[in-house]
Structure 1
Amino acid sequence: MTHLHLRNALLQALAPLLLAATGGAAFAQASAPADEATAMSFDAARARMLDRSDKLAAARAAVEAKQLQSDGLKRLGGPVVSVSGLAYAYNANLNLDLDPLNQKLGQIGQALPPSIQSFIARVPIPQLPNSYTLNRHDTGSNASVSAVWPIYLGGATDAVRGFVSAQTREAEADAEQASHEVDTLLVQRYFGAQLAQRAAQLRAQAERTIAQHDAAAQKMLAAGVISRVERLQASAAYEEARRNARKAENDAALAAVALARTVRAEGRVAPQTPLFVISAPVEPLGWFIDSALNRHPGLEKVAAKKSQAEQLHEGEEALRRPQVIAFGTRQLKSGNADWVAGLGVRWTLYDSVDRDALSAASQKQVEQAERTGAQARSDISLLVERNWRALDNARRQYLEMQASVELAREVLKLRTSGLREGTSTTLDLIDAETNQAKVLTERAQAANEYVQALAQLLESAGLSDRFSDYIARADVKVN
């Protein structure tokens, strides 16, 4: 028997051992780890995330704060009535110097006639003290009611209320944008975890299969069927497969943790909604652009900023107008109570502040907001077009990869049968299996790119809440 015939005979004898790892031909997907996991569809994960997201809770709190602030200022500019009261006690002392008075009395006596002076001299007259202290003390109370009513403030109160209302709309736009962002984040992590798990399974299956081939190659080397170089090549292929499997396993674990934290799950989450592709094109580009210009929260935020600038301008103008205020106060007591009431008018005729310059500055802020809005509409339209084209490219790429998948399967079948017949080597089979794992992973990656591109497109068009509708339309499921 020739050397070639001996080689083929040994290959045929060892072929069952080599094929046992794969079950004969087709590349089987590895089973998932047996640890406990919570099965969760995309809709269930989204509902859970919307209910527990800290980012959304913070955005809702900001909206509620602005709404409460707006409610608190609804009656700004109305009358203000207040009651005031006081109770008091006092003690006052006044020191009087009587020396000047005593001197005056002496001078008066000297001015009298001598006969009267002699009479006064025989009659003792008491002297006044040098000083005397007067004391006054008392207690009392007073109460009054006062009212102030700004009748006309030039529109300042309306400007304040309008400014706070515009801030509320801005907070609502921020909350809507946050909702779109967490929807896109969930798509990234939900389907990204699926892709990572699928890649880990494919890499683990490839590692196990190549490990069997590596062991068979060692036996073939001992039998003298293959050279030492071929044996080393098989060993190197196994080491590479093992490294790839460990890396894919770590990536899948990290992706699973990220998904669990996104939906606030206690343990691991097992996604039940598969990666998908809609083989037909979605709605035309113009439809998404129209939706973006009507629904994108960024445009609503710009509109709210413009409204704020307009209200600031109105507030500047209000300071140039006269102000009229009614006021009144009355003592709270029976009988003849004190009271006062009247109107006050204030109009600034001259101010050291240049009101014309301030008014022009606020008007420029309005113009700035208008320009920003126009730029935002242009940028959002461009973003929608970019995402729409990325989605269509991802769709085409996935569909076009079908030929590569079929080729990889056929090559694997060919190498498997060739190993039985002695026309293929162990390395040929290893390369075919490794290539099929690579092609299947790349196609799953293409499906994930399609899903992520769809999420980006819907976010840019203000349609993130309709992602589930596109899942229902999918005719290709990557199970």
Structure 2
Amino acid sequence: MTSSRPLHPSLLLLPALLMLGGPAFAQAQAQPRGDSALALSFDAARARMVDRSDKLAAARAAVDAKELQSQGLKGLGGPTVAVSGLAYAYNANLNLDLDPLNQKLGQIGSALPSSIQSLVSRVPIPQLPNSYTLNRHDSGANASISAVWPIYLGGATDAVRGFVSAQTREAEADAEQAGHEVDTLLVQRYFGAQLAQRAAVLRAQAERTIAQHDSAAQKMLAAGVISRVERLQASAAYEEARRNARKAENDAALAGVALARTLRADGTVVPQTPLFLISTPVEPLGYFIDSALTRHPGLGKVGAKKSQAEQLHEGEEALRRPQVIAFGTREIKSGNADWVAGVGVRWTLYDSVDRDALSASSLKQVEQAERTGAQARSDIALLVERNWRALENARRQYLEMKASVELAQEVVKLRTSGLREGTSTTLDLIDAETNQAKVLTERAQAANDYVQALAQLLESAGLSEKFSDYIARADVKVN
């Protein structure tokens, strides 16, 4: 006997709902790939980034510059040999004033005895010209070779070389830190693009589903089986789903652009490595703290700063000590050439500069570097612990959300069955599916939080290059 109970009008939606479980979702997951799309695993993306990153190139250039400077100063304090030569010509004029001499000649007679003056007066005394110009000109050439050898400079040259070597170590620490930062940035953008794309897929799926519900609600209103309020509620739910879908789409596009710019790709980059999670805890906190205190580039930089301060202090002390220099020079010519050679000693006994104050200042800089190093070790240990706890929190949150996902899926099934039985409304199903998309997105966000926390933990521990090893260990893949 056939039941005479009329079917609930919402059963008109049932075929569409059944279709959404399969092909529609598969189509939503498919990502459009144009001719310029570049599919990359995380390892391939990292290799590309290392090769093309301006930040890493700048850091490497800084290291190369300091290494070349250190190489150039290896021979500092050794002998210096120089050859000098000159060619010259000159013309010199000397003007002589002869008026005073003429006057003296005129007075010669007055200085003689009177008996002789009459005789001298009869003799004419010649007059010299008022002035006379002497001219001298010549040309020539000269060449010589000289050598200077600082025998002892009080350790100043060693201090200079040590200072430049410490600057090289500082540049190496900066380059290592830049590498860790770039690795972390890649993780943020690579898996951030994965998350944004997943959120866009889920929001687009919810929009299509709710659009079909909205269309069915319009037919129900025309048939007079639902009220206008219910119809408006369905429209409002669709508008909200549409806005959320457009926002998620824009977020995914922006995340994709950021990833492409990071990798210097001309087109779209399609990440192939999914979000992942290791369901069991990673190494204990002590492992990462010990690694950080031995490998973190920040501590290497502080150590280099301390070494620079120590070398500056040695340089200040070297100025207090005597300096001994050997020297020599010889004309380059055949025959009896001029030459000179010797040893010079210089020791400053008094200087207007207060050397004691400068020495105390450089020692304070050493102390500053030591204190900074102690503070850095404490801060790095705290940073490692914070990142380790964030990683554990994200892991637990993802695993605990499994029940929420299963519950949301079960509610959708019950609301779908309720439509069949007439115990649920369209709005009930819309709410259930909207909540399911929300829970799935939140769980994907928890997986991304885990990945980002892992990258931060490895960076703080000086282990960023180990990130791919943790991908290989992952037993949960969020596809």
Shift of 1:92: 1.3
Q: Corresponding residue for 2:306?
A: 306
1:26–1:409: 8 Å Cα contact kept in structure 2? no
SS at match of 2:49: helix
Counterparts of 1:455 and 1:167, CA distance in 2: 29
2:200–2:249: 8 Å Cα contact kept in structure 1? yes
Counterparts of 1:27 and 1:165, CA distance in 2: 60
Shift of 1:375: 1.1
Counterparts of 2:246 and 2:73, CA distance in 1: 61
SS at match of 1:184: helix
Q: Corresponding residue for 2:32?
A: 34
Q: Corresponding residue for 1:11?
A: 10
Letter in 2 for 1:286: G
Counterparts of 1:159 and 1:118, CA distance in 2: 85
Shift of 1:352: 2.2
Shift of 1:356: 1.6
SS at match of 2:146: strand
Counterparts of 2:117 and 2:166, CA distance in 1: 99
Q: Corresponding residue for 1:147?
A: 147
1:142–1:331: 8 Å Cα contact kept in structure 2? yes
Shift of 1:99: 3.6
Q: Corresponding residue for 1:131?
A: 131
SS at match of 1:350: coil
Equivalent residues in 2 for 1:22-421, closer than 5 Å: 22-23=20-21, 30-36=28-34, 37-108=37-108, 111=112, 113=116, 120=123, 127-421=127-421
2:109–2:117: 8 Å Cα contact kept in structure 1? no
Shift of 1:91: 1.1
Letter in 1 for 2:297: P
Shift of 1:76: 0.8
Letter in 1 for 2:470: Y
Q: Which runs of 5+ in 1 are unaligned?
A: none
SS at match of 1:165: helix
1:62–1:171: 8 Å Cα contact kept in structure 2? yes
Distance change (3 Å), C-alpha of 1:89 and 1:25: closer
SS at match of 2:360: helix
Counterparts of 1:102 and 1:375, CA distance in 2: 92
Counterparts of 2:121 and 2:358, CA distance in 1: 90
1:29–1:201: 8 Å Cα contact kept in structure 2? no
Letter in 1 for 2:268: R
Shift of 1:140: 1.2
1:206–1:434: 8 Å Cα contact kept in structure 2? yes
Distance change (3 Å), C-alpha of 1:221 and 1:24: farther
SS at match of 2:20: coil
TM-score by length of 1: 0.94
2:49–2:262: 8 Å Cα contact kept in structure 1? yes
Counterparts of 1:441 and 1:305, CA distance in 2: 47
SS at match of 1:22: helix
Q: Which runs of 5+ in 2 are unaligned?
A: none
Counterparts of 1:422 and 1:26, CA distance in 2: 25
Counterparts of 2:235 and 2:19, CA distance in 1: 16
Counterparts of 1:104 and 1:366, CA distance in 2: 79
SS at match of 1:401: helix
Measured against aligned partners, the alpha-carbon deviations of 1:170-191 in whole angstroms (never above 9, x if no partner) come to 0000000000000000000000
Shift of 1:35: 3.7
Counterparts of 1:250 and 1:182, CA distance in 2: 25
Distance change (3 Å), C-alpha of 1:209 and 1:130: same
SS at match of 2:367: helix
SS at match of 1:465: helix
Shift of 1:274: 0.3
1:18–1:216: 8 Å Cα contact kept in structure 2? no
Identity %: 85
Counterparts of 1:158 and 1:142, CA distance in 2: 37
Shift of 1:24: 7.9
Counterparts of 1:248 and 1:163, CA distance in 2: 53
Distance change (3 Å), C-alpha of 1:227 and 1:93: same
Shift of 1:96: 2.5
Distance change (3 Å), C-alpha of 1:410 and 1:312: same
> Alpha carbon RMSD of aligned pairs, Å?
2.1
TM-score by length of 2: 0.94
